Amino acid sequence: MKTQIVKYYLIAGETSGDLHGSNLMRELKICDPTAVFRFWGGDRMETIGGTAVKHIRDLAFMGFAEVIANLSAISKNLKRCKKDVLAFNPDALVLIDYPGFNMRIAKFARKHNISVHYYISPQVWAWKQNRVYKLKKICNEIYCILPFEKDFYARFNVSVHFVGHPLIDAITQFKSEVMTDLSGELNLDERPILAVLPGSRKQEIRVKLPIMLKAAKSFPDYQVLIAGAPNLGMDFYRPMLTEGEKICQNRTYDILRLASLAMVTSGTATLETALFKVPEVVCYKGSRISYLIARRLIKVKFISLVNLIMDKKVVTELIQQDLTAENIVAELKRFEIHNAADRQELLRTYDELEKKLGGPGASARTAKHIFENIRKKQ
């Protein structure tokens, strides 16, 4: 009997989703060589093949104000997506993170009996935990990437798959590639690298980068490399620079591969830094009102993924008034190369973290789950 061709509709709305979506598509093609893809994503997903409907550059609205300003565009995107999903009638709708948009599409798809697979499930454990019940209604299968999420969902009688964290695959793949010669490109010398990851949003960079660069002055024996956001040009950064720092835009992994120490804005970058085995200090500072609201809503005791996953303090989090140049310096000095004991202990914990994340193969495990689920229903 002839094997039925399987149609997959994938939706990623951000750069990280494009990365993880492309790796998932690659593994789906291994499971299912005749797979047909239609997707919302970016350049990486386009390299795998299929039909691109919308690029992430038109989807990634960050921050409350930007979302409000683009409500009309978001509404149009939702309508277009719903219509396109219905016309394609996929065997599986694969949603990758991007919860504000994707949860609406999931609800629509379920009403039309389309199988919904949510990969990199929303962080409902952090806030608005009652969204668990909504996810249970609108998803056929949920794939989690953090080890504690399975137990969290179980408390609400929701069965999910823990597949491991796809960042391990992404970083493993990056390390296997030919190393970019940043030394020649940026005229680097033999001194070790101090990486500065100030985030990607203008407001957070304006607040934190000057503090980070003030701290960097206490490390004259290091070269300071700033990870610039791809969406921001040099004209934005230039007024905040002092002297000696170098910016490398959209090359965070290249910087972390070389770095000996790092100052990192809270978010996924804290986990990426740990997986590159770079000692770090986590930095966060927002408006007082935003911070107070967040403290009331967010139900976790840490802000960095490293500490959340290990369920203990592994890396120091400098939050609000604690984020000072002096505190950054005091923390990072503990992990300089000559402070071998503290540095090696942290690196051993990073190794434990990587094992706890499930090791390599998250994309392959997820692809296998999705493909086998479809086959059972055919």
Burial classification of residue 33, based on how many CB atoms lie within 10 Å of its CB (0-12 exposed, 13-18 middle, 19 or more buried):
exposed
195 versus 358: the higher-pLDDT residue is 195
How does DSSP classify residue 139?
A: -
Could you give the dihedral angle defined by the CA atoms of residues 185, 191, 197 and 203, in that order, rounded to the nearest 10 degrees?
Answer: -90
At 71, the pLDDT band (50, 70, 90 cuts) reads low
Does residue 293 surpass a pLDDT of 50? no
Mean of pLDDT values over 174-191: 84
Mean of pLDDT values over 74-78: 84
**Non-local CB neighbours of 176 within 8 Å, separated by 6+ positions:** none
List the one residue out of 276, 259, 266 whose CA is nearest residue 216: 259
User: In this predicted structure, what is the pLDDT of residue 204?
Assistant: 85
How does DSSP classify residue 22?
A: H
Please count the helices (runs of H) and the strands (runs of E) in the chain.
Answer: 18, 13
Q: Which domains does the chain have, with CATH numbers?
A: 7-164+361-377 (3.40.50.2000), 173-356 (3.40.50.2000)
Q: How many CA atoms lie within 13 A of 42 on its CB side?
A: 18
CB count within 10 Å of CB 302 equals: 20
Does residue 297 surpass a pLDDT of 60? no
26 and 52 Cβ atoms separated by less than 8 Å:
no
At 376, the pLDDT band (50, 70, 90 cuts) reads confident
Mean of pLDDT values over 288-313: 72
Tokens of 85: 């999903």
Phi, psi (deg, nearest 5) at residue 197: -115, 90
Burial classification of residue 201, based on how many CB atoms lie within 10 Å of its CB (0-12 exposed, 13-18 middle, 19 or more buried):
middle
pLDDT one-digit tens code per residue, 230-287: 778 889 999 999 888 999 988 999 999 999 999 999 888 999 999 999 999 999 887 5
Mean of pLDDT values over 205-226: 95
Q: What is the DSSP string of 206-234?
A: HHHHHHHHHHHTT-TTSEEEEEE-TTS-H
Mean of pLDDT values over 95-117: 95
Query: pTM of this prediction?
Result: 0.84
